[in-house]
Structure 1
Amino acid sequence: MKTILVPIDLASSAEHTLAYANKLAVRWPAEVVLLHCHHGDEFTAEAGEKLEQQLRTLAERLRYQQLTRQDGRRIRYHYRVLSGCLHDHVQAEAARCAADLVVMSLDYIDCGRVEAAGNHAATITGLVACPVLVVPPGRRSLPTRVAFSADFSTLDLNVLPKTSALGGAFPAQLQLVQFYAPSHRPERARLKRALEKAASQLTWPDITTHLVEDEDALEGISDFCSRTQTQLLIIAPTSSATLLRFFDVCYAKTQSYHTQIPVLVIQQNEQKPTTACCARCAQQALREAQAALVLGAHI
């Protein structure tokens, strides 16, 4: 059973987020779990019941305003109201309902703190094992053009099955995009092989590959999405710092294209440095290598 976990802060953008999740739930199909985390005054049972009723009212209104009666009846909703902050509960809640996808607003407000758009979403992405779909404000249809940007030469292998699993929800044209800097032109053949290998392992109905030269991959993907009128962007950042840069406030202020469309984040394991972490470790590694050489000479 597929499950979509939708954190709802009951702000104005929450309606657009749930509307998008509803469309996914019908197409996939999937159940929807609405999660509201209340931060502020002392939390009582009565307050919890009122908040759950607000979630039910929102879900029922959108069910019949947005969808046909047949599709609206098909969605099964579950409601969860908890005291505290989303980042304290989302990991356990995603595990509890076996969420296949988290859908949340780009402007989600967590713990009553208003931050730069995407910052709270970046935090949540690092806490859950499933992909996180970040939806900007505004009503939109499900995508017909999807772009997946990553360094496919170093891509974590667990990302590809997660991406394929979402093919049913987004049965659109998928464009795999590999960027490389001008200084890496001699590696074009290797990068192209990695790109084609990734495409062969994805069970998506329609895939095209693109090898694009650009000094800055983030600037490049925004331009690429704008040029191709991409309606959903998939990224696989290798660190929380990379993800935070993606949602940097400067891109929101300039209304960069990638901040105006839904972004699906599939988290990779953080890449570990290949160099020694300190001088002591380096010296220890050197001693072990020398000992191995001496041992080998006496065998």
Structure 2
Amino acid sequence: MKTILVPIDHTPAAEHTLAYANKLAVRWPAEVVLLYCHQPDAAAGEPAAVLLAQEQRLRGLVERLRYQQLTRQNGRRIQYRYRVLAGCLHDHVQAEAAACAADLVVMGLAHIDCGQQEAPGNHAAAITALVGCPVLVVPAGRRTLPNRLVFSADFDALNLHLLPRLSGLANAFPGPLDLVQFYPRTARPRRRQLKQALGRAAAQLTWPTITEHLVEDEAPLEGVSEYCARTLAQLLIIAPANTAQLLRYFDLCYTQTQAYHTQIPVLVLQATEQPAADTCCEHCHERLAQEATAARLAAYRAAHWV
């Protein structure tokens, strides 16, 4: 059975995230694992009792939402697991995603962690860097499941090993899929090469209806937002090459101006890290991977909170 990991808090926006995950779990179908991380408070009482109270509160929210926005029959079909832990989400999400073998993480665009609110998208980008599965970032607000999808990437440089994992989500997100490759004017001589790269990517995907598009645009991010608005896309799929590129999608200027791509769910494919060339054995590769994870966590904790 498929598994959806949903990091959640008790903010109003989190209800919309859970409601979206519920609909997705019914359609796919999938089990939902709810992960709530609670910052301990010495004045609140015994930690075990506090965590138990938080779990009961979470169960009450789940029972209300599963029948409030779904039919009773569909609500009963969803299987839930609860993980209520002390500490911050970024300290636990990697291990929890691995433990439940998550196929997808569904989280809100603005998620409170450690009792502090980070700039929109920064938190989502940090969590995406910590888990190995695709991450679906859902902005606040009620919305239906998508039936029109856009996948925008640099397909000429895209690692095709990411695409089988994306194809595993085809039943969760059925509908026409547009593959969109943006390129600058200076890349006109490479149009044939880019078209071939689009074809190779399409051949790896299992959606029944796939359309390939080459679009000349000097500003790909603005271009994809306009493209999604023009085609009324309800889900944007991206495969950023690095965290900085991912953060650009959720830049404050786009969220404040309510750019179209910040108003629809964004599915992020995390690029698979390749083994370093100078690793002499699997043990060394594992050690370097752990060091890289620790470095990402350190960078996350050093981020400016607003």
What TM-score do the two structures reach when normalised by structure 1?
A: 0.89
Question: In structure 2, how many angstroms separate the alpha carbons of the residues matched to 1:114 and 1:209?
Answer: 39
Q: Which amino acid aligns with 1:79?
A: Y
Distance in 1 separating the partners of 2:195 and 2:273: 24
State whether residues 238 and 271 of structure 1, in contact with CA within 8 Å, keep that contact through their aligned partners in structure 2: no
SS at match of 1:104: strand
| Residue in structure 2 matched with residue 186 of structure 1 by the alignment | 189
1:132 — aligned with what? Answer: 135
SS at match of 1:129: coil
Deviations 1:76-115 (A, max 9, x none): 0011110111111000000111100000000111111211
Stretch of structure 1 that moved more, 89-98 or 241-250? 241-250
SS at match of 2:55: helix
1:255 matches 2:258: yes
Measure the CA separation in 2 of the matches of 1:189 and 1:153. 11
1:81 aligns with 2:84: yes
- Inter-partner Cα distance in structure 2 for 1:248 and 1:25: 30
For structure 2, list consecutive stretches of 5 or more residues without a partner in the other structure: 276-306
Render the CA deviation track for 1:194-227: whole Å, top value 9, x for unaligned.
1011111111121111100111211111111011
1:23 paired residue number: 23
How far the C-alpha of 1:40 sits from its partner, in A, is: 4.3
- Equivalent pair of 2:160/2:204 in contact (CA under 8 Å): no
Distance 1:126 1:11 in 2: 23
Task: Give yes or no for the alignment of 1:214 onto 2:217.
Answer: yes
Residue 59 of structure 2: which of 56, 59, 76 is its match?
Answer: 56
Moved more, 112-121 or 174-183: 112-121
Q: Which of 144, 148, 152 is residue 145 of structure 1 equivalent to?
A: 148
Q: Which residue of 2 aligns with 1:281?
A: none
Q: Where has structure 1 moved over 4 Å in runs of 4 or more?
A: none
Does the 8 Å CA contact 1:239/1:270 hold for their aligned counterparts? no
Structure 2 letter corresponding to 1:243: L
Contact 2:150–2:233 (CA<8 Å) still a contact in 1? yes
Within 1, Cα distance between the matches of 2:208 and 2:28?
15
1:292 corresponds to which residue?
none
Deviation at 1:269, TM superposition (A): 3.6
* Cα separation, 2, equivalents of 1:59 and 1:196: 43
Matched-pair identity in %: 69
In the alignment, the residues of structure 2 paired with residue 25 and residue 205 of structure 1 have an alpha-carbon distance, to the nearest angstrom, of 21
d(CA) in 2 for partners of 1:126, 1:158: 17
Q: Distance in 2 between matches of 1:270 and 1:151?
A: 17
CA distance in 1, matches of 2:265, 2:229: 13
Determine the C-alpha separation between the residues in 2 that align with 1:187 and 1:205.
28
Alignment-derived partner of residue 8 in structure 2: 8
Q: 1:195 to 1:119 in 2, by over 3 A?
A: same
CA distance in 1, matches of 2:172, 2:122: 25
On the 8 A contact 1:238/1:270 being kept in 2, the answer is: no
Aligned residue in 1 for 2:164: 161
Change (3 A) 1:10 1:131: same
Bigger-Rg structure (1/2): 1
- Return 5+ residue gaps in structure 1 as ranges: 273-299
2:93 match = 90
**1:226-237 counterparts in 2 under 5 A?**
226-237=229-240
Q: How does 1:80-119 map to 2 (within 5 A)?
A: 80-119=83-122
Q: 1:20 and 1:205 mapped to 2: Cα distance?
A: 24
SS in 2 for 1:13: helix
The match for 1:280 is none
Q: Deviation per CA, 1:125-153, whole angstroms, max 9, x where unpaired? A: 00000000000000000001000000111
Does the alignment pair 1:176 with 2:175?
A: no
Give TM-score scaled by structure 2 length: 0.87
Give the paired residue count.
274
Alpha-carbon distance in structure 2 between the residues aligned to 1:5 and 1:218 = 28
Correspondence 1:278-297 to 2 at 5 A: none
For the 8 Å contact 1:238–1:269, the answer to whether it is kept is no
Provide the C-alpha distance between the structure 2 equivalents of 1:117 and 1:239, rounded to a whole number of angstroms: 17
2 CA distance for matches of 1:227 and 1:159?
27
What is the RMSD computed on CA atoms of the aligned residues? 1.6
Match of 2:267 in 1: 264
Please tell me whether the aligned partners of residues 6 and 106 of structure 2 are also in contact (alpha carbons under 8 angstroms): yes
Quote the offset at 1:270 in angstroms.
6.0
Cα contact 2:162–2:272 (8 A) shared by 1: no
